[in-house]
Amino acid sequence: MTTETTTVRPTARRILPPPVTGQEFVLTGVIVALWVLLGVFTPAFLTPGSIQPLLVSVAPIALIGVGMTFIIITAGIDVSVGGAIMLCAVITAKMMVTANLPLPLAVGLSIAAGLLLGLVNGVLIAYGRVHAIIITFGTANLFQFFALRVFGSETVNGIPGTLDVFGRGEAGRTLGVPHSFAIMIVIAAIAWWYLRHTTGGRHLFAIGGNANAARLAGIRVQPRVMVAYAVTGALVGLAACFFIAAGTSTLDQAVGSGRELAVIAAVVIGGTSILGGRGSVIGTVLGAILVQTVTSGVTQLGWPSQLATLFVGVFIIIAVGTDLLRQRVRAQP
Amino acid sequence: MSALPADETAYRLEMRDISKSYGGVRAIRHADIAIRPGTVHALVGENGAGKSTLIKIIAGAEFADAGAISFNGEPITISSTTDAIQLGVQTVYQEPQLFPELSVAENVFVGRELTRGVRVDWARQADQMHDLLATVGLPDRISTAPVGTLSIAEQQQVSIAKALAGDATVLILDEPSAILTDAEIEVLFTVIRRLTSAGVAVIYISHRLDELFRIADVVTVMRDGETITTRPIGELSVRQIAELMVGGVVSESRPQNGAATGEVVLELDGFSRTGRFDGVDLTVRSGEIVGLYGLVGSGAGDIASVIYGMDKATGGRMLVSGRPVTVRNPAQAKRLGIHLLPANRSAQGAFSFQSIALNIVVGELGLLSRIPGWASRRRERAIAQEFIRRLAVKTPTERQPISAMSGGNAQKVVLARQLVKRPALLVLAEPTQGVDVGAKEEIHRIISGLADEGTAVLVVTSDLGEVLRISDRILVVRAGQITAEFRPDATQVEILAAAAGADTPDADTTPAPIVIQEDQT
C-alpha cells in the first residue's frame, strides 16, 4: 500500500484472520501429497474400498476433535474423552441389547450420557479452579471404572444393527459418502461458524488468550469454559455411536482406549495452540485425516505399524514447535 | 448516556468513607474521593499507600468493607467488574489487559460485541473503529493487526480505545506513562484532553509528579491508606505534593556503616540496555552500600537484571574488580562472585514446597561434599542451621517447607542462600517488599553487617525509607538514567522530588536537588 492513497477503512472481512490459515493449506498439501504417493505405491489405496473406511475412522476422532478444539482454545485440555467414549458406548450398547432402542433414542441416550460427563468435567474445571489436566485425568479413571462395572468383565454381544447407518457397511453410505463422515463435516462447519462469527465463539479465544483480561472485559468466563467441556461431552456421546457401529454386533472393553491421544494429536497437528487463544476446527479435521492417512498408509504399505506412531509423533513435534517458535518470534520487540 | 442535567458542580463519581482490609491489614482507611465530569483527577501516593486498592474498588475488582459510593448523585453498589462496566467505569491497567492473538478491532469490542442476532456484526464494529482509532491517535489500518504485534504504547492506545468503546463515563488510567517515552506521553495527553472535553471523568494515577501539572485539574494525595488531601493542582508544587506523600516522617538514622574505603568491586561505564536504561555509570566499592532508587518503570530493576546476566546489555562496559566482563547468564555471574536477591520472592526466589534447608543450600550444592554430584544431608543440615541462627529465622526446624513461613522469614531464607558462599557483590532487588516491620529491621541489619565485613552491596529499591536508611550513597534512576546522587543525610522529599521529576523549577520550591559530585579517589 502506498501512503498517498486515501485512508482505507477496515472492512469486516479484514478484522478477522483469514478463514483458512496458512497452516491449513500446508496440511492440505501434505495430505494430498501423501494420497498421491500412496496411490502410486499401493494401487488399492485410491479406491472407494480403501478411502471409505479411512473416512469412517476419521469421523469420530475429528468429531470429538471439534469439541477438543473449543477446549484447547480456552487453554484447557480434556484427557478423559477415552474413558467417556467407553462409558457412553457401553451404556448405549447394553440398553440397545435389552430394550432394542430405536435409532433416535439410542443416539439421544448416548449424547445425553456424554453431555452429563462433559458437564461434570466442565463444572469441576470452571468453578473448582483446578487445572483441567488434573480434573480430567481423575475423571478419566472414574469414567473407565464405571464403564468396566457396566461391562461386568465381558463383552457386550448381540447388539442390534440399529446403528449400522454410521457403520462401514453399505447401510452406512449414501452416494458412496459415509454418513458418519458427513455428519462430522456438518457439525465441524457449524462449529467453525460459531467460533468465527458469534460472541460465544470469540470469547473462547479471548479466554484462552488472557483469562484475567477476559474477566476484566466483562466476559463470563466460567460458563463459557463449562460449555466447551459440555459440548465436547455431547460430541463424545455421538462419536460413541460411531464406535458401536464399527463393531460387528459386539462391543469389547478396549473401546475408546487411548483415543484421547489421537484426538489431541489431531487438534495440535491442526494448528490449535496448546497455550490457548488460537486454533481452528478446519485444522483439526485435516489433522485427523492426516493421522488416519498415515496409520492406514503404513498398514497398506505393509510397513511395521509402529512407524505410524513415529510419524504422528514427528507431526506433533513439528506442529507444537512451529507454534512455540511463532510465539517466541512475536515476543521479541 | 445519563439523563441527568449536566450540572457543572455535580460529581460523576463520589466515594465516601471507604475502608478495606486484607486479612487484618488495613489497606484503606476512611478514604474519600469525588470526581467531576470533564476533569482529570490525579491520584498520587507512595507504593502501598492504597491507590491500587481504591482503584480496584471503583472498577469492581474488589469490594469495600465499608463506605458509600454514588454515581451521578445516585447511591449505588459496585459488586463486580460487570457492574462497573455498565456504569461506564473503564480501567486501563498499567500492563495492557489485551488478547495478543486477536486483532485490534476484536480487542476493542471484546465483551461488548455489536451483534446482529447471534452473529457478531463485524461491519458495524469496523465502522466504529474508524472514530475510536482517530480519537486515540492510531491509524485505521492497525485495526486488523494482531495486538501481539504492536508496541507497548500502541497497546495502551488500544486499551483506551477499548475503554471508549464501552462508553466510558469514568476512565481510570493506572500509571499510563510509566511505560511510555516522552513522545508517546504527548500523544497520551492529547487523547486525554480530547476525552475530558467530551465530558469523561479521568482518574490519573502516576508517580511522575511533574507531568501532573500538565494534565491534571485536581490532585488527591494518599498516604498509609488514607486520603490526605484533595486540592486543585495549581495550589501545589511538586515539592509540596512530595511532602504530602511522605508525610512528616523523619527518616531514621541508619546503622553505622563502615567507611567506603575498599576496592572498587563493580563499575558500570555507559551501561545500557535499549529501551530500559541508557548510559548508566556507577561504582560500588567493597564495604559500601549503594542505594539505587527509582519509581516503577524507571529502569532501576532492569539494571539489576542485566548485572546478574538475566538480560543482556546492549551497550557500555561492566567491570568486576577492574576486569571487563560480559555476563551472559546467572551461573556466570555467580562465578564472578555476584549474587542477586530477586525482587519477586515467590516467582524467582523460593522453592515453595521444599524445606528451608534445601532453599538455603540449593545454590551451592557443590559445597556439600567433596565428591562431585553427591550432596551430604548432614552438611546441608549444618549449613542451614548455621544460617537460621545467624539470620534469626523463626522456625522450629530446618525441615519446614518455606511455603509455611511468613514473608519476612521466607525472605531471610532466600537471602541466606546468597550468603552461603560470601559474595563479592550482592545485588538486592526490593529486599523488604511484603515484609513486616520487624523483619525489615533485621534484614537491614544483616545487609549492613555484610557490608561491614567487606561485601559490596547494591540495593535496588522503590522504598524511599529503605534507601535512606541503609545506603552510604543514593543514586536516583529516572527514565532509564541516573539523574541525581545524594548522601544519606538527604531528606525523603528531596529524593522523591528528584525521582518523580521536579526538574522544572517551581517558584515556591527550593532549587533542584543538590547533586553531589563524589570525588573519584
Mutation for testing the B interface, residue in A4, A15, A227 having most B CBs under 10 Å = A15
The one-character DSSP state at A170 is: G
Check CB contact under 8 Å for A11 and B126.
Answer: yes
The answer, for A329 touching chain B at a CB cutoff of 8 Å, is no
Give me the residue from B115, B126, B162 closest to A15, CB to CB: B126
Q: What distance in Å separates the CA atoms of residue B326 and residue B335, rounded to the nearest whole number?
A: 12
A104-153 pLDDT, tens digit per residue, is 999 999 999 999 999 999 999 999 878 899 999 999 999 999 999 988 87
* Residue B32 three-state SS: strand
Residues B51 and B130 in one domain: yes
Q: What distance in Å separates the CA atoms of residue B226 and residue B224, rounded to the nearest whole number?
A: 6
Q: What distance in Å separates the CA atoms of residue B424 and residue B351, rounded to the nearest whole number?
A: 25
Check CB contact under 8 Å for B130 and A9.
Answer: yes
Task: Please list every residue in chain B whose beta carbon sits closer than 8 Å to the beta carbon of residue A280.
Answer: none
**How sure is the predictor about B217, in pLDDT bands with cuts at 50, 70 and 90?**
very high
Q: Among B205, B204, B210, which Cα is nearest to B242's?
A: B210
Interstrand relation of B289-294 and B473-478 (parallel, antiparallel or unpaired): parallel
- Of B207, B228, B246, which residue constitutes the final position of a domain? B246
State residue A7's pLDDT score.
44
The answer, for B144 touching chain A at a CB cutoff of 8 Å, is yes
Residue B132 CB neighbour total at 10 angstroms? 23
The one-character DSSP state at B254 is: P
The answer, for A12 touching chain B at a CB cutoff of 8 Å, is yes
State residue B515's pLDDT score.
42
- Of B363, B387, B420, which residue constitutes the final position of a domain? B420
Is the pLDDT score of B253 beyond 70? no
- Pull the grid cell for residue B152: 507497548
Check CB contact under 8 Å for A205 and B99.
Answer: yes
Residues B273 and B402 in one domain: no
The Cα-based distances of A155 to A207, A252, B165, B265 in angstroms read 42, 5, 60, 77
* Residue B433 three-state SS: coil
The answer, for B122 touching chain A at a CB cutoff of 8 Å, is yes
- Of B246, B272, B304, which residue constitutes the final position of a domain? B246
B372-415 pLDDT, tens digit per residue, is 667 777 778 888 888 888 888 877 777 777 777 777 778 888 88
* Cell 536504561 belongs to residue: B277
Residues B184 and B319 in one domain: no
Name the strand (E) or helix (H) holding B473.
Answer: strand B473-478
Residues B133 and B279 in one domain: no
Residues B191 and B89 in one domain: yes
Residues B145 and B32 in one domain: yes
Residues B39 and B150 in one domain: yes
Task: Please list every residue in chain B whose beta carbon sits closer than 8 Å to the beta carbon of residue A333.
Answer: 151, 275
Residues B227 and B91 in one domain: yes
Closest residue in B to A272 (Cα–Cα): B101
- Residue B375 within a domain: yes
Instruction: Kindly provide the ipTM of the predicted complex, given to two decimals.
Output: 0.78
Residues B199 and B327 in one domain: no
The Cα-based distances of B245 to A247, B213, B237, B496, B500 in angstroms read 77, 16, 12, 9, 12
Residue, of B123 and A56, whose pLDDT is higher? A56
Task: Please list every residue in chain A whose beta carbon sits closer than 8 Å to the beta carbon of residue B275.
Answer: 333
Q: Among B174, B171, B208, which Cα is nearest to B193's?
A: B171
Is the pLDDT score of B251 beyond 70? no
The Cα-based distances of A96 to A78, A330, B405 in angstroms read 28, 54, 59
Q: What distance in Å separates the CA atoms of residue B33 and residue B488, rounded to the nearest whole number?
A: 35
Task: Please list every residue in chain B whose beta carbon sits closer than 8 Å to the beta carbon of residue A199.
Answer: 113, 115, 118, 120
Taking residues B281-309, what's their average pLDDT? 87
Residues B388 and B445 in one domain: no
Give me the residue from A9, A202, A330 closest to B148, CB to CB: A330
Mutation for testing the A interface, residue in B89, B94, B102 having most A CBs under 10 Å = B102
- Residue B235 within a domain: yes
Q: What distance in Å separates the CA atoms of residue B43 and residue A185, rounded to the nearest whole number?
A: 56
Check CB contact under 8 Å for B123 and A11.
Answer: yes
The one-character DSSP state at B236 is: -
Average pLDDT in chain B:
81
Give me the residue from A14, A202, A219 closest to B144, CB to CB: A14
Q: What distance in Å separates the CA atoms of residue A32 and residue A26, rounded to the nearest whole number?
A: 10
* Domains contained in chain B, number: 3
Mutation for testing the A interface, residue in B62, B98, B103, B120 having most A CBs under 10 Å = B120
Residues B70 and B171 in one domain: yes
The answer, for A9 touching chain B at a CB cutoff of 8 Å, is yes
Task: Please list every residue in chain A whose beta carbon sits closer than 8 Å to the beta carbon of residue B111.
Answer: 203, 206, 214, 217-219
Closest residue in A to B61 (Cα–Cα): A216
Interstrand relation of B323-325 and B315-320 (parallel, antiparallel or unpaired): antiparallel
Helix, strand, coil percent values for chain A (each to nearest 5): 75, 0, 25
* Cell 474413558 belongs to residue: A83
* Cell 554430584 belongs to residue: B373
Helix, strand, coil percent values for chain B (each to nearest 5): 35, 25, 40
Domain at B502, CATH number: 3.40.50.300
- Residue B347 within a domain: no
**How sure is the predictor about A332, in pLDDT bands with cuts at 50, 70 and 90?**
low
Check CB contact under 8 Å for B103 and A16.
Answer: yes
Closest residue in A to B166 (Cα–Cα): A217
B35-77 pLDDT, tens digit per residue, is 999 999 999 887 677 888 888 889 888 888 888 898 888 888 8
User: In which domain, by residue range, is B382 found?
Assistant: 352-420
Q: What distance in Å separates the CA atoms of residue B144 and residue A16, rounded to the nearest whole number?
A: 7
State residue A5's pLDDT score.
39
The Cα-based distances of B304 to A183, B82, B290, B461 in angstroms read 59, 40, 12, 10
Domain extent listing, chain A: 57-264
Contact B212, B234 (CB under 8 A): no
